[in-house]
Amino acid sequence: MAEALHLLSYDPCASQVFCRRPLGELHRLADWVCERDPYGELTRLRAALGLVDPRDDDLHGHVRHQLWCAWRQASWTAGLARPLPAVVAAGQQWLDETRGHPTVLVSPMTMTTADALHTVSAVFADRHVVAVGEGAIPQYDAEISVVNGDVGSIRHVLRHLAAGGVLGTYADFVYADRDAEPTVMFGRARPISSGFVAVASRPGTMLLPTVMRRSDDEQIAMEFDEPILVQGMPQDARSARKSMRQLIAQLLESLIRRNPQQWLLLPTLSFDSPQLARV
């Protein structure tokens, strides 16, 4: 199914057609996928969901969200999308506590990159948002910088963070051609970006756990948990990096368990992803 979603999302012709379909058709398509299992993947996908929430085996919500995100990405690809309204649904006080500090969001992948970054930019309207990723993000006057993860771009990230900026990159995804370090999530080996770990480990940084949700009225809501202030580095740097990886993994697991149906990387607990780094 991943290949089909990628085609609908990014192919110049397919995206023009798909993004114009009404939401009701997406819901019917999700029902059809869950009834027919055209890709023969539902058993393994259900097993992946069971690792996150053993009480839930209904995949309709996850398939609907995957299709909705593909539909949104198709709109971005076709040049027809506009940012959705963004709201803070919980934890405004925790967001406020990070002001004046270098802030690194610890967030699972629940939205397309463009929607996620525009949401973060809207919520942090008075601060500069920087992300590490691939490709261009339509700006629409949003204060967003997207860098590619090389040494020069990491310096760019650190400059913005030192000025009280926000790093808004997904913590649970690292591209296959990037340096990665191992951790464990939901009992499965998982890569975390070496650059993300390095930036998150700098003393004085505030780690701000957050998750984005799609609401029924087509808003994107952000929820924040209490931030964690990174103290001075211990003498054993290797042990410190391992502890940081474990902390990031624990935070991500907690955030994902709140709404596993909208975690876009749920299939990677059961399927290999050629885009995801290996460790």
Which tokens is 163 given? 């000025």
In the predicted model, is pLDDT for residue 257 greater than 70? yes
**Cα dihedral: 7, 276, 50, 27 (round 10):** -20
Q: What is the pLDDT of residue 167?
A: 94
Residue 257, amino acid: R
Q: What is the pLDDT of residue 52?
A: 96
Closest by Cα among 189, 155, 188, 194 to 174: 194
Which tokens is 152 given? 């020069």
In the predicted model, is pLDDT for residue 186 greater than 70? yes
**Residue ranges of the alpha helices (H) in 41-150?**
42-52, 60-77, 92-97, 113-123
State phi, psi for 183 to the nearest 5 degrees. -150, -170
Are 58 and 31 contacting, i.e. CB atoms less than 8 angstroms apart?
no
The pLDDT tens digits of the residues spanning 61-112 come to 999 999 999 999 999 999 999 999 999 999 999 999 999 999 999 999 999 9
Q: What is the pLDDT of residue 131?
A: 86
3-state helix, strand, coil in the chain (%, to 5): 45, 20, 40
Which DSSP letter does residue 260 get? Answer: G
The pLDDT tens digits of the residues spanning 53-71 come to 999 989 999 999 999 999 9
| pTM of this structure | 0.91
Which tokens is 208 given? 């701000």
